[in-house]
A and B are shown apart, each in its own frame.
Chain A
């Protein structure tokens, strides 16, 4: 039978056999969404983009916390008696259909007056009448059409969400002034003497002066402030020579027009600041739908159900949870605090914490850690610790999360600018000294001219444009870096540390190996038939792995929770489960998850489950080992040592049983002995290590869903290209060095005019933008070249 895709979500629908309106669907959920859309005349959703939908998930009870008015109040952007406005993050937003349907929400419910999508941020801002629809109903409506919003503890602190638009204002002011000053300078470019100029020049000059005021003191204030801060802490950063240039330009130009000596350099001044800000703007634009600052808050729920002794339920804010409270954790809900399981069967998925994909079973009395997700049914727990004191969340009280990484690191630009500033100042003083002897009237003129022309505009632009462009190229290849300095630091790395589970192993796939005596075909049939009855995840994956057999009817089947399963057919018995359960007493050498099998009380063998390593892992490590020290830091036991030593180059260090703090300390220790560490991890337990390292990269199977705080996010499918990305970063550093050389050439030409005392405003006005533009061109073209090489490599490696 050929595969028919589900009309709504595009998954395979051939097995489900659900048809409606001549269209096939993979499940009833998808069908229901289609029904909702078709009864509301919204089927155009499917015209814009075929199979754009998502399966609606079951959310019964999940959003009960939205009954708590205190929580609702904290999520809303705006709230008066009737109208409420809420901005909801919806990870599924991915195409034009999504925009269309979400902006037509009022067709589904007339209480919604408007909804506006921000595609880049994947949010929808909904305005609705709170008398007829509550936030909870709104969230339910969105979930029912497959657009479940993601509400986390992060949303609790809205209000300070003011968008920072200052850069675009500054850029606007600078551009506006630059254009007008250029216009006003034109007469004097072409006509230096004459009646007309003499009559009107002062007016034009004073107009230029007034246009340049906001540029220097508003648009350029960041440079002045940064230079002042740098000087106070005795650092000659790139902003020092820039500020020097700006101030000298401004003071000299003002002096010239006051004393009526000339027209000044207002055109160069405004142009310089405009170009600098443009570079900054270019660099700042990154991926606003990806968050690199996530901590546990963006992952934890806002509210949870508290059970009172009399059996009543109440939704409480999770900061209000106290030790000793009894909580109800529903299916698919997250455990927000360390607690003890009291009632119910717990199957906890810790994948967000550890990266371990396999869910673990817990019994009442067991301790549960915050961050796990309950997968099956609801459970009741007693709280042991409050949110901030829980095992996982404590990690965030470490100092490393309060430090700014960029401050710890001297950029290439700043390193150059130190030498540059000293050189420029000495040239300026030498030239001035020379002119003091030869023609003292020109001395001051030369001194200021040197400082003006040497203003390192081009140097300041080289790094933002190179890194900014590379950032975009990386983004297209699914490597998302937080900012430009990440690429710069990546180029300086000499040690790479990997987390194991979820990072070098793939999350979804497991490899199963069998050890023991061969099973007869009868026994295999029995094994398969028995597994078929069990819902345990290990049974399911084992069942899928075994060859196809006829399924026999069992005479007897019994499941022993936490131990294993037992079945009987035609006098043959089979036991599948843990070693003691099947009666296997010999030493169990493996530390991996294993399922033991015995038939008729005789031990047969075991199936060992191990994580599958990502494709191309050995190849990548062999490439990396020539240039870097490689370490694997794993929170797991040493069960995989043998496999790893076989797979990886011999000098790779392997460390197991590492707690989150241990990982952090390990990196700190190595950094103190001069290592530049790249940490690659995936779970929340790596968050400390990612923050401590020079560059922390989070591996993510789905970049939209979740990753801990990091400097860059790498799509799991691109893991084996890690080396190429590092190499490209190194090329970027080379490009910047060449740009520095290029701008030095321009500077020397400019200095010739300046030192000889013949710097006219026209020359400055031509030379300064010319150098900036050629640097921008050079860096853009060469990074594109590097990018193309990077893409080509991808193609080869795929073949």
Chain B
């Protein structure tokens, strides 16, 4: 048995793994909305009070 068989099996298994990941992602609806997640990721610590007060003051010029 040549090592090529093992390599081929591994490469195809890896490829199929990615393919399954893709199918799962589509099924979960990750490809339905391509814009909102890009904005959502930027919201993080917005709820800290001091910070917001300061920014409102700077905005008001």
- Point out residues on A near B: beta carbons under 8 Å: 22-23, 41-44, 46-48, 50, 96, 99-100, 103-104, 107, 116-121, 163, 165, 168-169, 172-173, 176, 179-180, 183, 200, 203, 207
The answer on a CB contact under 8 Å between B19 and A43 is no
The answer on a CB contact under 8 Å between A96 and B15 is no
The answer on a CB contact under 8 Å between A118 and B39 is no
Q: A22-B60, A118-B36, A172-B22 are in contact. List 16 more A-B contacts (CB 8 A).
A: A43-B52, A44-B46, A47-B46, A47-B52, A47-B56, A50-B59, A99-B43, A103-B40, A103-B43, A117-B40, A165-B32, A169-B26, A173-B19, A179-B15, A200-B4, A203-B5
The answer on a CB contact under 8 Å between A207 and B46 is no
How many angstroms between the C-alpha atoms of A43 and B53 in the bound complex? 8
How many angstroms between the C-alpha atoms of A50 and B59 in the bound complex? 9
CB neighbours of B19 from chain A (8 A): 172-173, 176
The answer on a CB contact under 8 Å between B56 and A121 is no
How many angstroms between the C-alpha atoms of A203 and B36 in the bound complex? 45
The answer on a CB contact under 8 Å between A163 and B32 is yes
How many angstroms between the C-alpha atoms of A260 and B34 in the bound complex? 46
CB neighbours of A183 from chain B (8 A): 11
- What are 14 of the A-B contact pairs (CB < 8 Å)? A41-B52, A43-B52, A43-B56, A44-B47, A47-B46, A47-B55, A48-B46, A103-B43, A117-B40, A119-B35, A121-B33, A168-B31, A200-B2, A203-B8
CB neighbours of A163 from chain B (8 A): 29, 32
Q: How far is the CB of A116 from chain B (nearest CB, A)?
A: 8
Q: How far is the CB of B34 from chain A (nearest CB, A)?
A: 7
* Nearest B-chain residue to A169, judged by Cβ: B26
The answer on a CB contact under 8 Å between B49 and A41 is yes
* Nearest B-chain residue to A116, judged by Cβ: B36
CB neighbours of B11 from chain A (8 A): 183
CB neighbours of B49 from chain A (8 A): 41
Q: Does B6 sit within 8 A of A, measured CB to CB?
A: no
Give the residue of B8, B15, B46, B47 whose beta carbon is less than 8 angstroms from that of A176: B15
What range describes how many residues of B lie at the interface?
20 to 34
How many angstroms between the C-alpha atoms of A107 and B31 in the bound complex? 28
CB neighbours of A44 from chain B (8 A): 46-47, 52, 55
How many angstroms between the C-alpha atoms of A100 and B55 in the bound complex? 17
The answer on a CB contact under 8 Å between A96 and B39 is yes
The answer on a CB contact under 8 Å between A23 and B39 is no
Given contacts A169-B26, A207-B8, contact A100 B56 (CB under 8 A): no
Given contacts A50-B59, A100-B46, A180-B15, contact A118 B32 (CB under 8 A): yes
The answer on a CB contact under 8 Å between B36 and A119 is yes
Q: Does B1 sit within 8 A of A, measured CB to CB?
A: no
The answer on a CB contact under 8 Å between B59 and A47 is yes
0/1 string, B14-57, CB within 8 A of A gives 1: 01001100110011010111111001101100110100110110
Q: Does B12 sit within 8 A of A, measured CB to CB?
A: yes
The answer on a CB contact under 8 Å between A172 and B23 is yes
CB neighbours of B27 from chain A (8 A): 165
The answer on a CB contact under 8 Å between B42 and A46 is no
The answer on a CB contact under 8 Å between A119 and B60 is no
Q: How far is the CB of B53 from chain A (nearest CB, A)?
A: 8
Q: How far is the CB of A130 from chain B (nearest CB, A)?
A: 23
CB neighbours of B31 from chain A (8 A): 165, 168
Given contacts A41-B52, A43-B52, A100-B43, contact A120 B36 (CB under 8 A): yes
CB neighbours of B2 from chain A (8 A): 200
* Nearest B-chain residue to A96, judged by Cβ: B39
How many angstroms between the C-alpha atoms of A163 and B42 in the bound complex? 27
Given contacts A44-B52, A47-B52, A176-B15, contact A23 B36 (CB under 8 A): no
* Nearest B-chain residue to A210, judged by Cβ: B12
How many angstroms between the C-alpha atoms of A169 and B27 in the bound complex? 9
The answer on a CB contact under 8 Å between A99 and B36 is yes
